[in-house]
Chain A
Amino acid sequence: MSEHIVSPKLYFVIFLCLMVLTITTVYAAKVDLNDIIKGVPLNIVVALTIAVCKAVLVILFFMHAKYSPKRTQLIIIAGVFWLAIMLSMTLADYGSRAWDVH
């Protein structure tokens, strides 16, 4: 078997990082960050950035994406890319409506 075996020590380090990020996101939510940069809803930006970091750690290490063949990594990126199309195109539609509620 040429598969790369990830060590339990690395798994535990990643777990600790995920715990730190979870605690950070909870405490960041309790602080009003929205006035720090004008016009930028910083709270949600921070929350989503932390969530993306956590997801990347899980994908790379727990799901072994870092040690997977390139074709597998391509499928992962494709899935995220399709999600990005769905989100960006639909939000652009709503965002460019002059007549809608918001």
Chain B
Amino acid sequence: MHRTGELYGHFQTMEQQKESATLGMWIFLSTEILFFGGMFLTYTINRHTYADVFAFSSRTIDLTWGATNTIVLIGSSLTMAMAVWSAQVGKKALVSLFLILTLVLGSVFLFIKGIEYHAKYVEHHIPGLNFDMYYCTSNPEACELSSGDLQKVKKELQEAEDKSGSKVAVNAHAQLFFSLYFGMTGLHALHMIVGAGLLIWLIKESFRGRFTPAYNTPVENIGLYWHFVDIVWIFLFPLLYLIDRH
């Protein structure tokens, strides 16, 4: 009954059945708003308290990769919406195509995230793992710092040290930024991976011709989840990458 999209006993119409499923997904997304919201709140408080350190820490993450990822993810939301449309108008081949495109774009996003995390590893910016904001000033070639940037970074670190009192304090506050960076983007990436798994299932089912104008609820609801994860990134990007780029 469930697998063929027929009416369950306790619903009166298919429309009501579909709306119930969609409402259930939205209620789950409301809990997700608060789940990510907690980390955004922590971020807000710490950014206000350690504004300067957060600013120059933000400048060490690559803006180009971040912006690219934003475009990739919004693109994947477009392809996901198109997958739902394809099911609604009965174009079954297009459903599979758009779901596959969504998965590809999501994978590109995760791959780029891997590149960014690797850069943080090289620069000794991973909290708890030989973290040291001063590593790049002593090893500018390893961090790919030009001589102009090196001078700027040295000056910023010195200003932060004067304000907070010691190198240890600067490192502690910078670790806060990077803990939040990895915590928030990591939680987001985890949601992307779950989304990718759901997409793989959807693609498999779409090959069996399961999604039609009469029944496309899984596509719609997994689409809602995917769009939500996109919205989280839409907020993560300016808050983590665009703190003080002028």
* Residues of A in contact with B (beta carbons under 8 Å apart): 1-3, 5-8, 11-12, 15, 18-19, 22, 25-26, 29-33, 43, 47-48, 50-51, 54-55, 58-59, 61-64, 68-69, 71-72, 75-76, 78-80, 82-83, 86-87, 90-91, 94, 101-102
Contact yes or no, B26 A72, CB < 8 A: yes
Contact yes or no, B234 A58, CB < 8 A: yes
Complex contacts, A7 vs chain B, CB 8 Å: 85
What is the distance, in angstroms, from B238's C-beta to the closest C-beta of chain A? Answer: 4
Q: How far is the CA of A18 from the CA of B96 in the complex (A)?
A: 25
Q: What are 16 A-B contacts with C-beta separation under 8 Å?
A: A7-B85, A12-B78, A19-B71, A19-B74, A29-B246, A54-B234, A58-B77, A58-B231, A63-B223, A64-B220, A72-B23, A75-B26, A76-B26, A79-B29, A79-B33, A101-B49
Complex contacts, A47 vs chain B, CB 8 Å: 238-239, 242
What is the distance, in angstroms, from B177's C-beta to the closest C-beta of chain A? Answer: 15
Give the residue name and chain of the A residue nearest to B77 (CB).
A62
Candidate in B14, B30, B63, B234 with the most chain A CB atoms within 10 angstroms? B234
Give the contact stretch, choosing among B38-46, B190-198, B199-207: B38-46
Q: Is the interface of B mostly helix, strand, loop or mixed?
A: helix
Question: B114 at interface (Cβ–Cβ under 8 A)?
Answer: no
Given A62-B81, A75-B23, decide whether A15 and B44 contact each other with a Cβ distance below 8 A.
no
Give the residue name and chain of the B residue nearest to A1 (CB).
B213
Contact yes or no, B41 A102, CB < 8 A: no
* Residues of B in contact with A (beta carbons under 8 Å apart): 14-15, 18-19, 22-23, 26-27, 29-31, 33-34, 37-38, 40-41, 44-45, 48-49, 63, 67, 70-71, 74-75, 77-78, 80-82, 85, 88-89, 213-214, 220, 223-224, 227-228, 230-231, 234-235, 237-239, 242, 244-246
Closest 5 CB pairs of A and B: A79-B30, A29-B242, A47-B238, A32-B246, A79-B33
Complex contacts, A11 vs chain B, CB 8 Å: 78, 81-82, 85
